[in-house]
Structure 1
Amino acid sequence: MELWIPITIAAAFLQNLRSAAQKHLKAVMGTTGATFVRFGFGLPFALFFLATLHLVAGYRIPAPNAAFLFWVGVGAFGQIGATFLLIHLFSHRNFAVGTAYSRTEPAQTALFALIFFGERVTGGTLAAIAISVFGVMLISVAHMHMSWRNLVASIFARNALIGLASGTLFGIAAVAYRAASLALGGPNFMMQAAVTLVWTISLQTLVMAGWMVWKDRAEIGRIAKAWKVALFTGFVGATASFGWFMAMTLQQAAVVKALAQVEMLFTFAASVFFFKEKINRIETAGCLLIVAGILILLVA
C-alpha cells in the first residue's frame, strides 16, 4: 500500500472530529470565531510537529522561496474563505444541499491542477471522483423530497451556491498547498509538509486575529470561554492538515481529496453505531457509491 493512502484516511478521520467540534463551537460563537479556532489553536501543534522533525529526527528546515510564499498565500486565504463559507452554512437549518456542493472539491481540485500545472488524472481516477462526489451529494439530499423540480431548483438555491463557492476555494487551496510543499524541494515530504503547515497556519492566525481585533473584539471573549473545545479543535485540525499536506506532497491533490471522501463513511458509522440513528435507502446508496469510488481510485 502506498504511504499516502493511510495518511489520507487518518487525516479524513481527524477532519471529521474537527468538523464536529466546529459545529459545537458555532453554537457558542460567531462564524469568525469558529473559523479562527481552527487556525489559532492549531498553531502551537504545528510548531510542535516542525520542532520534533528538526530537533528529534534531525531533518533540516528548508528555506522558503518566492514560489513557496506565493502559493502559501493563495492556499491560506483560499482556505480561510472556504472554511468561513462552510461554517456559515451551519447557521442555516437546511444546509444539506450547500454542504453537498462543497463536496465537489475533488472534481474542482482536478480542474485547477490541470489549469495551473497541467497535471492530468487517468480516466479511472476521473470516474472514481465522479462516483464518490455523486454518492456524497445523494447523502446530502437524502431527506429532501426527491423530484426533478426540487433537484434542479436546489442547484440555484443560495445555500447551494455558497457550498459550491466553498468547494471552489477548498480546491484552489489544495492545489496551492501541494505546489508550496513541492517548491521547497526537500529534505523529505514530512518536513516539507510541516514547514508549509507552519507558514500557512501562522498567516491565517495573524489575519483572523487582526480581523477580530478590528471588527469584533467580543468574539475573542467568546473564544476564551470555550478554550477547552477550541484546543481540541486546534489539535485535530492541525494534525489533519499535517496529514493532508504530507499526502499531497506524495500524490496529486485531486487524488488525495477523492480518497478523503471516506470521511462521510466515518460520519455515518458514528451515526449508526454510537447515536443509533437509522439511515434510509438513499443514504445507503450514497455510502455504497462512495465505497465504489474509493475502490476504483485505489485500483485505477
Structure 2
Amino acid sequence: MITSPIWLPATLFAGMLQAWRTAVQRRVGHTLSVNAAGLVRYLYGLPFAVGLMVLYQYGIAPAAFPGLGPDFLLFCLAGGLAQIIATNLLLMAFGHRNFVVGTAYSKTEAVQGALLSMLLLGEKLSLLTWLGIGSGVTGVMILSTGGKRMAPMDFIRALGQPAALYGIASGFFFALTAIGVRRATMAVATPDHIRAALITLAATVALQTILQGGYIIWRERDQVRAIFSSWRISGQVGLLSAVGSACWFTGFASAPVALVRIVGQVEMAFTMAFGYFYLGERIARSEIIGLMLVTAGVVMALTGAL
C-alpha cells in the first residue's frame, strides 16, 4: 500500500546517490580490505545519519520524539545484518571466474523482494506491476553483463556455478534488508514517514558500525589505521551513503518494498550516464536494450500501482 507520494522522488534520488557513492567508494577499495571498505560506509555515515535525524526531529519538523515498538531494534539489527551479509556474498560472487553472471543474478533482488514482502508483509501488487518487475529485472540483468553477449541459456547453464549461487543469495539478503527496514519504520509510532525513516536509519547504521567495527578490531586490526587515514574520501562515502540510505528508507516507509526496488533500478541508468559522459565509455547495443527494458518496467510498475 502506498501511503505517501514522497516515496517516488525519494527513490529516484536514492538511485542517483547510490551510483555516485559506488563510484567514490571504488577509490577507497584500492587501499582497504573488503571488510574495511564496507565499514567506512557505516562509520563515516553514522555522524551524518544522526545529524539528519536531529535536524529533522528538532529543526525542520519539531515534534516530540515518537515511541518505538518493542521489536524496533530487532528489525533494525536484522536489516543491518542482512545488508552486511548481502554485500559480502556479492563480493564473493566477484571472486569467481564468471562474476558477470553472479552480478546479474544478484539483480533478481526485486523479484525476490516482491515474493518475500507478499509472504512476510502481506503486500499485494497488480499484474501490471508484476510485469513491470519482470521487465525491469531482465533489463538490469542485461546491463550487468557490461555489454557482453550472453544468451538466455548461458544464464540457465550457469545456475549451478558458485558465482550464480552467491549472486542469488546476495539478492535474497538485499531483499531481506529492505523488509527489515520497512518493518522497523512501521514500529516507529509516527505518521511522518520521513521521521520514521531517519530514526530507523540512525539506529541501523549505529548497529552496523558496531557489528562491522567489532569484526575489524577482532580479525583485521591492522586496517584500523588505514580506515582513519582515508577520512577525506571515506567522509564523502559516508555522506553519500547516509543521504542515499535516508532516501531508500523513506521509500520503504511509504510504499511496497518491490515497487521501491523496481523504481530504484534507475541506479543502473545513472551509473551508465556517469560512465558515458564523464568517463567516455561506449554504450553497447545490448545495454541500450537493457535500458529500454528497465524504463518500460518502471513505467508499467508505476502504472500498475496507480
TM over 0.5: yes
* Residue 220 of structure 2, aligned match among 208, 216, 219: 216
Q: Aligned ranges for residues 1-300 of structure 1 at < 5 Å?
A: 2-56=5-59, 57-90=61-94, 94-147=98-151, 150-300=154-304
Q: Aligned equivalents of 2:146 and 2:165: distance in 1?
A: 19
Q: Aligned equivalents of 1:26 and 1:95: distance in 2?
A: 18
* Cα deviations by residue, 1:127-179 (Å, 9 ceiling, x for unpaired): 11110000011122354453455333322222221111111001011011111
* Cα deviations by residue, 1:83-116 (Å, 9 ceiling, x for unpaired): 2223444556752221211111111111111111
Q: Aligned equivalents of 1:154 and 1:79: distance in 2?
A: 25
Show structure 1 runs of 4+ deviating over 4 A: 88-94
* Cα deviations by residue, 1:210-246 (Å, 9 ceiling, x for unpaired): 1111111011122122211111111101111110111
Tell whether the 8 Å contact from 2:80 to 2:177 is kept in structure 1 after alignment.
yes
Which blocks of at least 5 consecutive residues in structure 1 are unaligned?
A: none
Q: Aligned equivalents of 2:296 and 2:149: distance in 1?
A: 25
Tell whether the 8 Å contact from 1:131 to 1:289 is kept in structure 2 after alignment.
yes
Q: Output the aligned Cα RMSD.
A: 1.8
Tell whether the 8 Å contact from 2:106 to 2:170 is kept in structure 1 after alignment.
yes
Tell whether the 8 Å contact from 2:20 to 2:271 is kept in structure 1 after alignment.
no
Q: Aligned equivalents of 1:148 and 1:39: distance in 2?
A: 37
Task: Indicate the SS of the match to 2:71.
Answer: helix
Change (3 A) 1:113 1:218: same
Letter in 2 for 1:153: R
Q: Aligned equivalents of 1:16 and 1:214: distance in 2?
A: 31
Q: Aligned equivalents of 2:203 and 2:224: distance in 1?
A: 23
Letter in 1 for 2:37: A
Letter in 2 for 1:10: F
Change (3 A) 1:187 1:273: same
Q: Aligned equivalents of 1:188 and 1:150: distance in 2?
A: 46
Identify the range of structure 1 (114-123 vs 195-204) with the bigger mean alpha-carbon deviation: 114-123
Which blocks of at least 5 consecutive residues in structure 2 are unaligned?
A: none
- Deviation of the 1:188 alpha carbon: 0.9
Identify the range of structure 1 (35-44 vs 273-282) with the bigger mean alpha-carbon deviation: 273-282
Identify the range of structure 1 (54-63 vs 282-291) with the bigger mean alpha-carbon deviation: 54-63
Letter in 2 for 1:205: T
Task: Indicate the SS of the match to 1:277.
Answer: coil
Task: Indicate the SS of the match to 2:279.
Answer: coil
Identify the range of structure 1 (257-266 vs 144-153) with the bigger mean alpha-carbon deviation: 144-153
Change (3 A) 1:152 1:187: closer
